[in-house]
Amino acid sequence: MSSATEGKGERPQGSDDGELVAAARRGELGAFDTLVGRYQRQATSVAYRLLNNMDDAMEVTQDAFLQAYDKLATLSKPERFGPWLMRITSNLALNRRRWRSLRKSIPLEGLGEGDEDRGEMQLSDPSAVMPDQAASAEDVKKIMAEVIADLPEMQRQALMMFCIDELPQKEIAQHLGCSVEAVKWHVFTARKKLKERLKDYL
């Protein structure tokens, strides 16, 4: 998950969760990367058991880590990071499962995060909302274009190269002069901003 770890160094894999959470709270993003590496497989497994779809499970896992990072200051028992993260993951997966029956797919390019997942965003079925709340695909694409235009340069370039040009992350990293982890972070952050702007239609 991170590029922002560049220059800050990796935390020792042997550090316990409480130490890593404390370090991440101090701004050592390498510590949070270590937590991601430690729990990513378990979180993906939890999400997959609830969703039975690997693409959805991977996306929910990414969202769970971002939410965990955003709310790290609220974790009262840092040594319990793992169970706390699994609860976040489960809640996100259950929410996604609940609205599966109310949505239909509208292909919107450029929202994937990994080389294997360039995906599409799921928007609410217009028949499931009031007429004045429904948005056409063109409305949503217009909003997306505005958000993309407002992104920081590195985020915008990474997103466009990855999602529109469909370049491999390694090649994008060479173009931008950064690490592959940095590319992942830029694309993930840009995608999160898009989802926040489109949350009323999800």
Residue 128 sits in a domain whose CATH number is 1.20.140.160
Least confident of 3-7, 41-45, 144-148: 3-7
- Is there a single domain that holds both residue 178 and residue 115? yes
Res 3 pLDDT > 80 = no
Q: Choose the final residue of a domain: 98, 131, 154.
A: 98
Q: Choose the final residue of a domain: 98, 128, 148.
A: 98
- Is there a single domain that holds both residue 92 and residue 166? no
Number of domains in the chain: 2
Cβ-proximal residues to 83 (8 Å cutoff; 6+ apart), any chain? none
Are 57 and 93 spatial neighbours (Cβ–Cβ below 8 Å)?
A: yes
Residue ranges making up the domain that contains 156? 102-201
Give the tens place of pLDDT for each residue, 157-168.
888 878 776 778
Q: How confident is the model at residue 98 (pLDDT cuts 50, 70, 90)?
A: low
- Is there a single domain that holds both residue 92 and residue 123? no
The fraction of the chain above a pLDDT of 90, given in percent, is 29
Q: How confident is the model at residue 100 (pLDDT cuts 50, 70, 90)?
A: low
- Is there a single domain that holds both residue 84 and residue 147? no
Are 44 and 57 spatial neighbours (Cβ–Cβ below 8 Å)?
A: yes
